[in-house]
A and B are shown apart, each in its own frame.
Chain A
Amino acid sequence: MSALLRVQELTAGYGAAPVLHGVDLTVPAGTILAVLGANGAGKTTLLRTLSGLLRPTHGRIRYDGTDLRATPVEQMVRLGIAHVPEGRGVVTELTVDENLRLGGLWRRDRADARRALTEVYDLFEPLARRRHHPGHQLSGGERQMLALGRALVGRPRLLLLDEPSLGLAPRVTAQIMALLRTLRDTTGLTVLLVEQNVRSALSVADQGVVMSLGRIVARDDAASLRADADLRHVYLGF
């Protein structure tokens, strides 16, 4: 399997103080990588740097042969990269339908964009029921479905998911994790899954990395990470 995403010595942050200190990552195509770690470990900053919202001060990001450091944010989605930001990804002033259509506006294949929209409504039944409601009327779980569904309308190859389980009922979290596994197996989707919910993330991931204070302190198969009691105790708290 070839690497879809290769990150080398990535250093980035806000202002003068870096948050990431030389992060190295390789994500093979068609796999799910769980990015674990406590609050403030730099997980969200890593995703923001990958999608171009934050520019690195040092290091390289290669995605399918493209240098992402030179790619404008607006172009990321055209390369197949979808970033679902933590919690606030929904445009609350727009309706559910407008949010979803926004996810496919950039696509030239209008027919497939409409097909993808229908698929998302089939996938997330609550969204279909609240189609014409504004985003601010949705529950936390519905917003998460909407943000994820909107990313899927673009038929991404790489999904950058930030805390999809945040504030969700365990049942909904399990559904989302199962969906990621299905998408990986059927469409070859590659996922970078940032999670505080270690158990559910490792239940679906192929590999995992553990971050602490802007560095990667452990990397292994998801199964081995689950079994590593010391690591769990020191960095993951369960």
Chain B
Amino acid sequence: MERFLFLTFDGLSRGAVYAAFALALVLIWRAARIVNFAQGAMAVATAYAGYSVASATGSYWLGFAVAIVAGLLLGAAVERVVMRFVDHSSPLNGVVVALGLVLVIQAVLGMLYGNEYRPAAAPFSRSAFQVGGVALLSRFDLFVFAAVSAVVGLLGLLFTRTAVGLRMRAAAFAPDVSRLLGVPVAGMLTLGWALAAAVGSLAGLLVLPTELGLHPNAMDLVFVSSFTAAVVGGLDSAVGAVVGGLVVGLLLSFVSGYLGATVAPMAVLALLLVVLLGRPGGLFTRGRARAA
């Protein structure tokens, strides 16, 4: 029972990060109908930028802020310089370009920082509180929950309560009509990429301290888990991404806890396969596939 509780909380904590990363994938999917396979590499690149600043200044939070801002800029740049020129007649084109971007980013990071693991700092203690003799949650876990909840809440407010959010949704759903109504559609697309990349950066900062550390390939497995989470949720649904993230987090935690860590990646792939075969539209598409 203790073990079950521990694995549950551990799974939810991991799942929260997958949820944030899946949310970033959903943001770009909804804005541009592209699955951004480069998102993991982009998040690592901004984490390195934050790491450089943090080591130079000794301030974790300054590095944190730099990484998020770098995410905004990198996302905007990727859309403006690369994705805008992708021919969208076949959905595969965007995927291939994104995979190419992964190779470029990882190669550049390898040249700049080398291919050894560097320690990724956590801003709070990762040792868990003892509740009734059971280790459940650490301060860092609480920070993860708070940060992800804040991002989900703020994005929700942005899209449903603000003029910019309304413009972004309209531009994604009906570009021509939106342009006739004066919406700068291209700018909204850039903004969508910037926001998504910043959310991806945040997810990277939250997950890297729990993994082996900073490395150009450090987000590869996280990407697979988060992509699965987004597909479970249906790619179009923000709620689906969050639920999908938590489901994948729990699955990974239980499988590695009871069956062994080596089996865990296979469990994620099995889940992806089951969802794609059984409900290719995801679990949250019926009726609200294209809802706000």
B292 touches A93 (CB 8 A): yes
Stretch at the interface among B15-23, B148-156, B170-178, B259-267: B170-178
Q: Which are the 10 A-B pairs with shortest beta-carbon distances?
A: A106-B182, A77-B182, A73-B179, A91-B174, A93-B173, A83-B180, A93-B290, A91-B173, A74-B179, A102-B170
A31 to chain B, nearest CB (A): 22
Bound: A102/B185 CA distance, A: 13
Contact of A93 among B163, B182, B291 (CB under 8 A): B291
B177 touches A89 (CB 8 A): yes
Bound: A94/B169 CA distance, A: 8
Bound: A119/B95 CA distance, A: 47
Given A74-B185, A134-B291, answer yes or no on A98-B173 (Cβ-Cβ < 8 Å): no
Bound: A91/B170 CA distance, A: 7
Q: Which residues of B contact A102 (CB under 8 A)?
A: 166-167, 170, 178, 181, 183
Return the chain B residue nearest A83 by Cβ: B180
Extra pairs beyond A105-B166, A106-B183 (18, CB < 8 Å): A74-B185, A77-B180, A77-B182, A78-B182, A82-B180, A88-B177, A91-B174, A92-B173, A93-B169, A93-B173, A94-B166, A94-B173, A98-B166, A102-B166, A102-B183, A105-B182, A150-B181, A154-B181
B112 to chain A, nearest CB (A): 39
Return the chain A residue nearest B186 by Cβ: A74
Verify if B119 is at the interface (C-beta below 8 Å from A). no
Q: List 17 A-B contacts (CB under 8 A).
A: A51-B180, A73-B180, A74-B183, A74-B185, A77-B182, A82-B180, A85-B177, A88-B177, A91-B174, A91-B178, A93-B173, A93-B292, A102-B166, A102-B167, A102-B178, A105-B183, A154-B181
Bound: A107/B230 CA distance, A: 37
Verify if B100 is at the interface (C-beta below 8 Å from A). no
B180 touches A53 (CB 8 A): yes
Return the chain A residue nearest B174 by Cβ: A91
Bound: A73/B186 CA distance, A: 12
A binding-site residues for B, Cβ under 8 Å: 51, 53, 73-78, 82-83, 85, 88-89, 91-94, 98, 101-103, 105-106, 134, 150, 154
Bound: A73/B183 CA distance, A: 9
Q: Which residues of A contact B170 (CB under 8 A)?
A: 91, 94, 98, 102
B181 touches A106 (CB 8 A): yes
Return the chain B residue nearest A91 by Cβ: B174
B173 touches A105 (CB 8 A): no
Verify if B184 is at the interface (C-beta below 8 Å from A). yes
Contact of B180 among A85, A94, A98, A101 (CB under 8 A): A85
Name, among B176, B178, B180, B292, the residue most crowded by chain A CB atoms within 10 Å (CB to CB): B180
Considering only residues 179-203 of chain B, those with a C-beta below 8 Å from chain A are 179-185
A74 touches B173 (CB 8 A): no
Q: Which residues of B contact A154 (CB under 8 A)?
A: 181-182
Bound: A150/B177 CA distance, A: 11
Bound: A112/B179 CA distance, A: 21
Q: Which residues of B contact A85 (CB under 8 A)?
A: 176-177, 180
Return the chain B residue nearest A73 by Cβ: B179
Given A73-B179, A74-B182, answer yes or no on A105-B167 (Cβ-Cβ < 8 Å): yes
Q: Which residues of A contact B182 (CB under 8 A)?
A: 74-78, 105-106, 154
Name, among A74, A76, A77, A98, the residue most crowded by chain B CB atoms within 10 Å (CB to CB): A74
Proximity string of chain B (263-292) to chain A, C-beta cutoff 8 Å, 1 when within and 0 when not: 000000000000000000000000000111
B75 to chain A, nearest CB (A): 22
